[in-house]
Amino acid sequence: MSKEITVPTLGESVTEGTIGEWLKKPGDAVAVDEPIASLETDKVAVEVPSPVAGVMGELKAEVGETVEVGAVIAIIEEGGTPAAKGEEAGRAKEEREEGKQERAGDTPKTQAKDAPSDAVKALNPAVRRAVLEHGLDPSTIKGTGRDGRLTKEDVEAAAKAKKSGSDTVADAAPAQAATSSAPASGERKEERVKMTRMRQTIAKRLKGAQDNAALLTTFNDCDMSAVIEAREKYKDLFAKKHDIKLGFMGFFAKAACLALKDVPAANAYIEGDEIVYHEYVDISVAVSAPNGLVVPVIRDAQDKGFARIEKDIADFGKRARDGTLTMDDMKGGTFTISNGGVFGSLMSTPIINPPQSAVLGLHRIEDRPVVVNGEIVIRPMMYLALSYDHRLIDGREAVTALKIIKEAIEDPTRMLIDL
């Protein structure tokens, strides 16, 4: 019996997604609830589970194709026999023939199945297809793309080099032709990679923020001595009691809650001709994921302690790297904290996350000379940046909010006594 697999509901206001990767191919055995495909949406990658056990049948959509919610993307034969068993004799014959070809010097076509799965999955679709087609191990190929990434040309060149190295004398002419067609030394290469759906959405939303909001950024610097001292003093006890490390983000999240309580406009947003104020603080935390920047939300941060906030942040970071964040994790948010300091940023002007009206940018900590009580001393300093929508937040309010955050970090006791 055949079972049609359709695109599941992807979340509120999300009507379509893009096939990012097929996790099963025709003929593979499939268990109940086992993921068969990965869908890229505007915010996250979502796995499509199989509702039945059986054998993967026809694929109705290709990688990179946009599919709507409810569309049929695959067929599963319930109770079928995996190809590995049903076609064992045929496969054995193919393997024998390929073994002969390999001994004769031809490249085996099925070698792609032995390519390291983790390395292959990390490649963009065009490069991945080329690697699988030629049966190459991507870890053995030197990438010439940006940041050392593999390009399709790198894979093609490696395939030609492998073939020319294993060809017999009778194949010398084709090998020479392949070598002569290789890019000339010093040639400047270009690589075209289709933007992922998530990257397209990020670009659209950030450009929309610039077009629609009156963006302005105010800066301050912050002495991190007190927080660093408190962290060093209590980090072991904190980790032992709560089974989580005490980080800096917990301090800044609680400091932001104090600021947003006193400056509610920074925790509000514009909707039509109305201002929506929130009596709660849902902090969006910018997290770097393989496919782009995502902003999962710490809900009701004003009611959470340091340990709960740190656990939420650690969980978001892990799931962002694993690609298991859900649409609900990203929904909402009244204020954003973005920590570019982990990448070494000294100063930046972050862009707000619509429809929010403010974002706090954190930067790297570095020792700098400052004047304290008339003396020049060395202190671990961090630049803070608060970008805000000037349509809603006045300069006085923005400076006040940032000043409250600065004072809370420089004197963490304020967070305990609500100052």
State pLDDT tens for residues 20-40. 788 888 888 888 888 888 877
Residue 88 has pLDDT above 90, yes or no: no
Instruction: Specify the fold of 198-416.
Output: Chloramphenicol Acetyltransferase (3.30.559)
Most confident of 90-99, 123-132, 352-361: 352-361
The residue ranking higher by pLDDT, 215 or 327, is 215
80: which residues sit within 8 A by CB, 6+ positions away?
Answer: 54, 55, 57
Torsion of CA 114, 117, 122, 126, to 10 degrees: 40
367 counts as catalytic? no
Identify whether the C-beta of residue 80 lies closer than 8 Å to the C-beta of residue 53.
Answer: no
Question: Phi first, then psi: what are they for 376, rounded to 5°?
Answer: -85, 120
Identify whether the C-beta of residue 351 lies closer than 8 Å to the C-beta of residue 209.
Answer: yes
- Residues comprising the chain, all counted: 419
The residue ranking higher by pLDDT, 259 or 50, is 259
Q: Which CATH number fits the domain 2-83, given the four candidates 2.40.50.100, 3.90.1150.10, 2.60.120.10, 1.10.8.50? A: 2.40.50.100
Question: Phi first, then psi: what are they for 72, rounded to 5°?
Answer: -80, 125
167 counts as catalytic? no
Same fold flag, 2-83 and 198-416: no
Helix pair angle (152-166, 125-134), 10° resolution? 10
Compute the distance between CA of residue 267 and CA of residue 367 in angstroms, rounded to an integer: 32
Residue 213 has pLDDT above 80, yes or no: yes
117: which residues sit within 8 A by CB, 6+ positions away?
Answer: none
Residue 392 has pLDDT above 90, yes or no: yes
Closest-CA residue to 286 (of 190, 387, 375, 187): 387
- 114, 390, 411, 418: the catalytic one is 390
Compute the distance between CA of residue 154 and CA of residue 160 in angstroms, rounded to an integer: 10
Most confident of 81-95, 187-201, 236-250: 236-250
Compute the distance between CA of residue 350 and CA of residue 336 in angstroms, rounded to an integer: 10
pLDDT attached to residue 251: 93
Compute the distance between CA of residue 210 and CA of residue 231 in angstroms, rounded to an integer: 37
Compute the distance between CA of residue 10 and CA of residue 69 in angstroms, rounded to an integer: 7
Q: Work out the mean pLDDT of the chain and round it to a whole number.
A: 80
273: which residues sit within 8 A by CB, 6+ positions away?
Answer: none
pTM of the predicted model as reported, rounded to 2 decimal places:
0.64
Torsion of CA 398, 401, 402, 405, to 10 degrees: -170
pLDDT attached to residue 351: 92
- 236, 322, 328, 394: the catalytic one is 394
Domain boundaries, the chain: 2-83, 112-180, 198-416
Identify whether the C-beta of residue 338 lies closer than 8 Å to the C-beta of residue 384.
Answer: no
**93: exposed, middle or buried (Cβ count in 10 Å: 0-12, 13-18, 19+):** exposed
Please state whether the peptide bond connecting residue 35 to the residue before it is cis, i.e. omega within 30 degrees of 0: no
pLDDT attached to residue 123: 62
Compute the distance between CA of residue 361 and CA of residue 220 in angstroms, rounded to an integer: 11
pLDDT attached to residue 154: 81
Question: Phi first, then psi: what are they for 324, rounded to 5°?
Answer: -115, 15
**Could you tell me the pLDDT band of residue 193, with boundaries at 50, 70 and 90?**
confident
